[in-house]
Amino acid sequence: MIMADVTMSNVEQSYGETNDAQKNVFDLGAFVGDLTIEEDVSSDDISLEGLQQELEECKNDDVVANILSKGAKLREYTKGVENNLRQVEFDSIQDYIQESNNLVSLHDQIRECDSILSQMETLLGGFQAEIGSISSDIKTLQEKSMDMGLKLKNRKVAESKLAKFVEDIIVPPRMVDIIVDGEVNDEFMRTLEILSKKLKFVEVDPMVKASKALKDVQPELEKLRQKAVSKVFDFIVQKLYALRKPKTNIQILQQSVLLKYKYVVSFLKEHGNEVYTEVRGAYIDTMNKVLSAHFRAYILALEKLQLDIATSSDLIGVEARSTGLFLRGREPLKNRSAIFALGERIKILKEIDEPALIPHIAEASSSKYPHEVLFRSLHKLLMDTATSEYHFCDDFFVEESMFYEIFAGPFAVIDEHFNSILSNCYDAIGLMLMIRITHQHQLIMSRRRIPCLDLYLDKVNISLWPRFKMVFDMHLNSLRNANVRTLWEDDVHPHYVMRRYAEFTASLIRLNVEYGDGQLELNLERLRMAVDDLLIKLAKIFPKTKLQIVFLINNYDMIISVLKEASPDVGKIQMHFEELLKSNTALFVEELLLEHFSDLIKFVKTRASEDPSSGSEKAIAVGEVELLAKDFGSRWKAAIELMHKDVITSFSNLLCGMEILRAALTQLLLYYTRLTDCIKRIVGGSSLNKDLVSISSIIRFSLSLARARKEAHTRACKANRYNSGLDSYVFG
């Protein structure tokens, strides 16, 4: 078989070499078409069907292609192949013969290897038997080891549980010494924690309760518990007595002393609930009395610093000259407009978180403060004290609800003081300031995340609003029920009642800027309507229409000026008074011009619009307008000077007066322009040109008067706020 393989290999190699030599010049497609097969005698049974297909399939075979390329016949080629195979077979046999000695030597070596391997097999068999015996011994040892390990594990578990049991239930002598004879310090606190664990251990575990060891230890543990509870109670009571000492800083004592021993309270709560209840009650009672006394003393000190701003008679519509037997001797109300003005009092809202007043320092400097300053100071102290106490109750007793029991007394003291003050407070500005202060205090407590004063501050707010509404209604009714005859003064300048109203309204608007309180805005609107009615009634008492208008303009202008200072935004109330000022200014301008140029105005309004060329019977004649032109030309300067003097003396606000004068001169120019236009349309009207005054001349004269007034006013006032832009207020 080996020889056959070698022979076939040699044949394929020889054919392969021949094929490689002729591979590049052979074209199977071209050659197959010319292929001819000689018929053999015995080829009758051979079918050539499918030959073409087989040739196509074999055209890629190198050997077939090589045969076909040589054009050899199949039989000859087959014979050549057989000859080659015989030659290869013969050569292979010769090779085997030459290597026969080597093969014999190889065979001997193989037999020697078999012998050695047989000996090794016997040796390994012995080893296997010995290993089997050893494996059995190891298995036995392993079972014993596992059994011993399990026993050891169980004993360790039992030992650890027993050791823990012994440790938890045993009462060391050192513990007894510390609890019985030791002082309450850090070591005592640590010992209390250990005792607490032992007490919990014997109470919770049912197996411990059934143990005989507990019968020996439990009496000792109970004695230690009772001793510890008693000692802790005495210690806390002693510290509580320290809180009652005068001039004790409660917050420092709480933070630096009591909080260090807060575990003793936890111990009492867990192992001496009855004693804990006594301690809790004692602390509540102590702090209630101490804080109540502190706040009562502070309130008494603040009352000495109180400054009364207003009484029940200090109302907007009350006559300034009112006097009575029981009225306090003070300045006349007319000279105390600060009652209605906010002024510097608004600074309290920017000092909302400043420290509380120290009464003896303020008293030493003879300082007096309005209600809102004392209110803020008292509640600042309340907030700080409440915050500290709330945190202490939460940290020391772990009971936030204790706060409300402790502060029941202080709240009662403050409420009593607050109600007495509130019932006698007629200062509407101060009440509104206290409302805003309360709101700010609520925000402060919210930022601190301390809810303990929420109900109290809500109650304060609820108390302040009705009182403010009552005082506000008193002001409103004073305007509605005012005696116009007693209030009236023969003076067209702003009335003191209107100034009170303006300052009062401006103050409340300023305090409402950041809050947008709709109820307050509604009340201010009611107050504004009452002022409108009163002002009209006061104006009607003046005998002349012109004086009535001047009086109204002066008061409207004053109110607008005060409101502008309160808020940069134009509110509904300010817009209302600006409309009234505008309409009354137009009325005054007409009255002023009629006083000096009545004929001119009457003609312009009735005849100037007629067409002179219409040919009607009542056509405008030159003589009719000649008198008007000459009259105006002869006295226009004097009339304007009189108008200027009249305006300056009638209006207290120079800026307002200049604005009115500008409007009057503008309206005069419009009337005169209509007159000149009418003259130009009249036949023969050109003859009157010499009597007409140019518009530029009137403007220059008016400007010169305005500048002269400006210079005089500057010299008189030295630095008047109305100096700038006067020229622009004359004619723009």
**Highest mean predicted confidence (pLDDT) among 274-288, 359-373, 601-615, 710-724:** 274-288
Q: Which of 125-134, 161-170, 232-241, 502-511 has the lowest mean pLDDT?
A: 161-170
Instruction: Kindly state the average pLDDT of the residues 257-269.
Output: 89
Task: Report yes or no: 610 and 619 within 8 Å, Cβ to Cβ.
Answer: yes
- The tally of domains found in the chain comes to 3
Instruction: Kindly state the average pLDDT of the residues 496-513.
Output: 92
Domain match, 377 and 463 both:
yes
Domain match, 585 and 562 both:
no
Domain match, 511 and 596 both:
no
Is position 326 within any domain?
no
Cα 369 to Cα 430: distance, rounded to the nearest angstrom: 11
Instruction: Kindly state the average pLDDT of the residues 665-684.
Output: 82
Helix or strand holding residue 60 (H, E): none
Q: Residue 352 pLDDT > 90, yes or no?
A: yes
Distances (CA, A) of 155 to 168, 205, 229, 727: 19, 22, 39, 113
Confidence of residue 563 (pLDDT cuts 50, 70, 90): very high
Q: Which of 323-332, 407-416, 437-446, 716-725 has the lowest mean pLDDT?
A: 323-332
Task: Report yes or no: 522 and 360 within 8 Å, Cβ to Cβ.
Answer: no
Domain match, 496 and 594 both:
no
Is position 54 within any domain?
no
Q: What is the pLDDT of residue 35?
A: 42
Instruction: Kindly state the average pLDDT of the residues 651-678.
Output: 86
Percent of the chain with pLDDT over 90: 35
Instruction: Kindly state the average pLDDT of the residues 292-300.
Output: 95
Q: Residue 263 pLDDT > 70, yes or no?
A: yes
If you count them, how many residues does the chain have? 732
Cα 406 to Cα 413: distance, rounded to the nearest angstrom: 13
Cα 537 to Cα 555: distance, rounded to the nearest angstrom: 13
Cα 673 to Cα 135: distance, rounded to the nearest angstrom: 140
Instruction: Kindly state the average pLDDT of the residues 262-269.
Output: 90
Instruction: Kindly state the average pLDDT of the residues 102-131.
Output: 88
Is position 470 within any domain?
yes
Helix or strand holding residue 247 (H, E): none
Give the list of residues 6+ apart from residue 625 with CB closer than 8 angstroms, or none.
603, 675, 678, 679, 682, 685, 688
Domain match, 628 and 497 both:
no
**Highest mean predicted confidence (pLDDT) among 183-197, 301-315, 374-388, 512-526:** 374-388
Local structure of 169: helix, strand or coil:
helix
Domain match, 529 and 554 both:
yes
Is position 99 within any domain?
yes
Q: What is the pLDDT of residue 34?
A: 43
Closest among 85, 95, 98, 94 to 13, alpha carbons compared? 85
Q: What is the pLDDT of residue 76?
A: 78
Q: Residue 423 pLDDT > 80, yes or no?
A: yes
Q: Residue 334 pLDDT > 50, yes or no?
A: no
**Higher-pLDDT residue of 346, 631:** 346
Cα 609 to chain centroid, rounded: 68
Q: Residue 44 pLDDT > 70, yes or no?
A: no
Is position 248 within any domain?
no
Local structure of 315: helix, strand or coil:
coil
Domain match, 518 and 603 both:
no
Task: Report yes or no: 657 and 647 within 8 Å, Cβ to Cβ.
Answer: yes
Q: Residue 12 pLDDT > 50, yes or no?
A: no
Q: What is the pLDDT of residue 462?
A: 95
Q: What is the pLDDT of residue 582?
A: 94
Q: Residue 662 pLDDT > 70, yes or no?
A: yes
Sign of the dihedral defined by the CA atoms of residues 390, 396, 401, 405, in that order = negative
Half-sphere exposure of 393 (CA within 13 A, CB side): 22
Q: What is the pLDDT of residue 1?
A: 41
Q: What is the pLDDT of residue 3?
A: 41
- Eight-state DSSP code of residue 393: I
Q: Residue 640 pLDDT > 60, yes or no?
A: yes
- pTM for the whole structure: 0.70
Instruction: Kindly state the average pLDDT of the residues 343-359.
Output: 91
Q: What is the pLDDT of residue 219?
A: 81
Confidence of residue 140 (pLDDT cuts 50, 70, 90): confident
**Higher-pLDDT residue of 4, 115:** 115
Tokens representing 380 are 């600042």
Instruction: Kindly state the average pLDDT of the residues 655-683.
Output: 84
Q: What is the pLDDT of residue 278?
A: 93
Distances (CA, A) of 391 to 222, 230, 241: 34, 27, 21
Instruction: Kindly state the average pLDDT of the residues 514-523.
Output: 89
Is position 190 within any domain?
no
Local structure of 211: helix, strand or coil:
coil
The domain boundary, picked from 131, 164, 197, lies at 164
**Highest mean predicted confidence (pLDDT) among 23-27, 113-117, 536-540, 626-630:** 536-540
Q: What is the pLDDT of residue 20?
A: 44
Q: Which of 153-162, 445-454, 716-725 has the lowest mean pLDDT?
A: 716-725
Cα 283 to Cα 238: distance, rounded to the nearest angstrom: 11
pLDDT in tens, 66-99: 766 665 566 777 888 888 898 888 888 888 888 8
Q: Which of 102-111, 398-407, 426-435, 502-511 has the lowest mean pLDDT?
A: 102-111
Q: Residue 40 pLDDT > 90, yes or no?
A: no
Q: What is the pLDDT of residue 709?
A: 67
Cα 367 to Cα 359: distance, rounded to the nearest angstrom: 10
Domain match, 512 and 633 both:
no
Task: Report yes or no: 333 and 310 within 8 Å, Cβ to Cβ.
Answer: no
Cα 201 to Cα 17: distance, rounded to the nearest angstrom: 102
pLDDT in tens, 143-195: 889 989 898 888 888 777 777 766 667 778 888 888 888 888 889 889 888 88
**Highest mean predicted confidence (pLDDT) among 66-70, 363-367, 481-485:** 481-485
Domain match, 586 and 557 both:
no
Q: What is the pLDDT of residue 48?
A: 64
Instruction: Kindly state the average pLDDT of the residues 1-21.
Output: 42
Task: Report yes or no: 509 and 566 within 8 Å, Cβ to Cβ.
Answer: yes
Q: What is the pLDDT of residue 13?
A: 46
Q: Residue 691 pLDDT > 80, yes or no?
A: no
The domain boundary, picked from 115, 130, 164, lies at 164
Domain of 103?
86-164
Residue type, 361: I
Q: What is the pLDDT of residue 47?
A: 61
Domain match, 548 and 404 both:
yes
Domain match, 555 and 586 both:
no
Greatest alpha-carbon span in the chain: 175
Instruction: Kindly state the average pLDDT of the residues 202-208.
Output: 70
**Higher-pLDDT residue of 384, 179:** 384
Instruction: Kindly state the average pLDDT of the residues 569-592.
Output: 91
Is position 45 within any domain?
no
Closest among 25, 32, 21 to 59, alpha carbons compared? 32
Cα 439 to Cα 452: distance, rounded to the nearest angstrom: 15
**Higher-pLDDT residue of 34, 175:** 175
pLDDT in tens, 568-577: 777 899 999 9
Q: What is the pLDDT of residue 723?
A: 41
**Higher-pLDDT residue of 110, 45:** 110
The domain boundary, picked from 113, 141, 164, lies at 164
Between CA 496 and CA 500, with CA 498 as vertex, the angle to 5 degrees is 70
Is position 171 within any domain?
no
Cα 23 to chain centroid, rounded: 93
Domain match, 556 and 595 both:
no
Instruction: Kindly state the average pLDDT of the residues 518-547.
Output: 94
Ramachandran assignment for 489, one of left (phi > 0), alpha (psi -120 to 50 degrees), beta (any other) = beta
